[in-house]
Structure 1
């Protein structure tokens, strides 16, 4: 049996869960939801004052990233225009941080895509 892999981005986890429920009601079973981002990790877990200097780098403060590979990755991330907080991020794709992945039978692929799109998913 041929299968189709579908990757869809959502703005919120609630949107993705609604799409997942609709897919399951339609008989699809292989579905997964994950949080994704431009940088690894969840950033700082506590409130930090930059004046104290008690933080690993600008990328951690403004990009909500953890950089376990060391300071080189933090420095490179801090050079990203998003780190300043002043960049104009007009690209809709970067705000879709929830990924729904579905593996469906090839002949039902269009049906699954229609369900996902009806719940604001971007294929």
Structure 2
């Protein structure tokens, strides 16, 4: 289980961790629990350290609130803002932070692979 002390240490050594630093202890704990639930499927596919790092990255991503991921999860295919248009591919993978994927897909990936 990812712990608050481990996450605090991790983010104390990471650039751009303002979302973590400004969150309340309650929100940090909720983010860690939610992130761990979202990534549970991948726990046995990587070593414990990489899994913890992935959980921490997922937690901060949840605290930051990724608007594009929210739109994609809601099924939005494209969005227009003025003259800017974004087109999203249908997502078949879960909404996982890019940095969390890095830790889940890294060199210590165990047999079985990710899709």
- TM interval, shorter chain, is under 0.3
Query: Whose radius of gyration is greater, 1 or 2?
Result: 1
Pick the structure with more strand per residue. 1
TM-score (norm 1): 0.27
Q: Which has the higher helix share?
A: 2
TM-score w.r.t. length of structure 2? 0.28
